[in-house]
């Protein structure tokens, strides 16, 4: 496994208590089956020989037709934000793999179109890790 594989594995394990989590590219039809669910999607990669940077979107999908769906979406987004802020505060840093976790933007709620049955929230993070 590469260092980035290990970072993705650690992130998946961290987020699994919130909702089933996969790493890949978000695709609504594939992700509609089980909600809520989380997709970790990389969107930028950078770094040097010693430090790597991985920018990710975390896409949380829930059923928009469920009772209290708006509240559920907001609460689950807060849970994710809190989980990712704890490693930065406590220096646990995802099993020692990560040097920094930074929220790049506030969470964006993507309301469903009238014909859609699922709502999403998009969280944007930058993760710095040690290239070993």
Q: In the block, which residue shows the tokens 């907001």?
A: 74
Q: Which residue has the higher pLDDT, 88 or 128?
A: 128
- DSSP codes, 45-69: EEE-SSEEEEEEEEEEEEETTSTTH
For residues 73 and 52, give the distance between their C-alpha atoms in angstroms, rounded to a whole number: 31
Express each pLDDT in 69-114 by its tens digit. Answer: 999 999 999 999 998 886 555 456 677 788 888 999 999 999 988 8
Q: Is residue 45 within 8 Å of 54, Cβ to Cβ?
A: yes
Q: Which residue has the higher pLDDT, 94 or 123?
A: 123
Q: What is the pLDDT of residue 104?
A: 95
In terms of C-beta density within 10 A (0-12 exposed, 13-18 middle, 19 or more buried), how is residue 34 classed? exposed
Closest CA to 38 of 54, 56, 19, 25: 19
Q: Which CATH number do you get for residue 121?
A: 3.30.70.1700
Q: What is the pLDDT of residue 89?
A: 52
pLDDT band at 40 (very low <50, low <70, confident <90, very high): very high
Identify the domain containing residue 74 by its residue range: 3-130
Q: What is the pLDDT of residue 51?
A: 86
- 30 has a pLDDT exceeding 60: no
Beta strands 21-23 and 51-63: pairing type?
unpaired
Tokens of 87: 């490693």
Helix (H, G, I), strand (E, B) or coil at 18: coil
For residues 126 and 106, give the distance between their C-alpha atoms in angstroms, rounded to a whole number: 13
pLDDT band at 29 (very low <50, low <70, confident <90, very high): low
Number of domains, the chain: 1
Express each pLDDT in 55-66 by its tens digit. Answer: 999 999 998 888
Q: What percent of the chain has pLDDT over 90?
A: 46
């Amino acid at each position: 496994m590469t260092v980035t594989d290990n970072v993705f594995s650690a992130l998946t394990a961290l987020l699994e208590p919130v909702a089933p989590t996969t790493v890949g590219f978000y695709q609504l039809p594939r992700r509609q089956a089980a909600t809520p669910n989380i997709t970790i999607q990389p969107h930028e990669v950078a770094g040097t020989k010693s430090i790597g940077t991985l920018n990710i979107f975390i896409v949380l999908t829930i059923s928009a037709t469920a009772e209290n769906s708006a509240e559920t979406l907001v609460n689950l987004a807060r849970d994710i934000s809190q989980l990712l802020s704890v490693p930065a505060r406590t220096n646990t840093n995802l099993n020692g793999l990560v040097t920094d976790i930074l929220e790049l933007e506030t969470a964006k709620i993507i309301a469903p179109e009238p014909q859609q049955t699922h709502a999403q929230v998009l969280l944007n993070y930058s993760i710095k890790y040690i290239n070993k």
